[in-house]
Amino acid sequence: MNKKIANHIKLLISSLIPIFIGPILIHFGGLRGSYILTILGVIVCISAVLMIFMSLFGIITELFKK
């Protein structure tokens, strides 16, 4: 397997951490009425989505490279 594809797969797997932490922070922020936790949770969720898109586009470009 290509080393670049392996790096993108590692990024995809490491994006699982913010996928689970983000909604937990949003939930705790809603329970306590803390806007800081809610905003932090939204930022973590957005970063997880960006990590997923970056890794998927990287894998696709490496697979279809000539």
Rounded CA separation 28/26 (Å): 6
Cβ contacts of 43 within 8 Å, gap of 6 or more:
none
15 C-beta neighbours (distance < 10 Å), count:
19
Low-confidence ranges of the chain (pLDDT < 70): 1, 66
Q: Answer yes or no: are the C-beta atoms of 24 and 2 closer than 8 Å.
A: no
Query: How confident is the model at residue 66, as a pLDDT?
Result: 65
| pLDDT score at 42 | 96
